[in-house]
Structure 1
């Protein structure tokens, strides 16, 4: 399975999950490393944007393509999550911790809080199977900057 990560050029090739470890995320608490990826490039862009604190965080970004063995991706069933999962980050972090602390699990799929019908894949860099992850090409990311201009316009 091919997944995508969009990050600042200086951090795009991090394979340790350091950013997530330092700052935490929806599916991991601080001090628990992981690598957030998306099933679609467009979702990776939306995820990057939604977490950008300032416009500068959307500049100088790159796209990384990653290949994962599909048989090593644990799937979380969106229908089995509690109804308020989007608004309960402690719940999703707890659930993510249960999975990330099992080093036999390489990655797990989760619904996106932005577009729950689409998915993100969380990679566990501490998994004993991490060597099966193939980090493919890194490319400067560009899009029609009219889109980013509208996204970054805070006057709306």
Structure 2
């Protein structure tokens, strides 16, 4: 894959606790609890292309409990920045656990700084996509984030 240049701006979403140990728009958590696309040595910021996908991603990692004090931010990635898109068919076993294949791929992408963002499929909502952001990339400073706003969870999501 080679980096492309965005011909339009992108928006993505991230959910977190603004009173937590780390800011919502921060990669530290990914070094403590690496996700599907990174190892502890490759910090990246996981975001979702849609707010509903961000909710699903938070729910799948929340062990069925209502997450306390969750807020969301809107992330604006302006046109002219670099990106790559990973097709689900381009990386065999990307969704398998343990996530060895996807971690290796994400680590290489991050360390090589090939692009600012990597658009990947969501394992929890296959037609949807997540947007990985490399905070070590030179273009990172061009990203803008909104003020955080509370997430209002529908309690029916947590009923047995």
Q: TM-score with structure 2 length normalisation?
A: 0.84
Cα deviations by residue, 1:45-69 (Å, 9 ceiling, x for unpaired): 110111114625x121001100013
In the alignment, is the contact (CA less than 8 A) between 1:104 and 1:129 conserved in 2?
no
State which of 59, 62, 75 in structure 2 corresponds to 1:66: 75
Task: Give the secondary-structure state (helix, strand or coil) at the position aligned to 2:148.
Answer: strand
Map 1:113-128 to 2 at 5 A.
Answer: 113-128=123-138
More helix by share: 1
State which of 14, 25, 29 in structure 2 corresponds to 1:19: 29
Q: Which runs of 5+ in 1 are unaligned?
A: none
Map 1:37-76 to 2 at 5 A.
Answer: 37-53=47-63, 55=65, 58-70=67-79, 71-76=81-86
In structure 2, the residue matched to 1:92 is 102
Q: TM-score with structure 1 length normalisation?
A: 0.86
Cα deviations by residue, 1:14-60 (Å, 9 ceiling, x for unpaired): 4440000111110001121111000111110110111114625x121
In the alignment, is the contact (CA less than 8 A) between 2:17 and 2:24 conserved in 1?
no
Q: Alpha-carbon deviation of 1:105?
A: 1.5
Q: Which runs of 5+ in 2 are unaligned?
A: 1-9
1: CA distance, partners of 2:120 / 2:133: 11
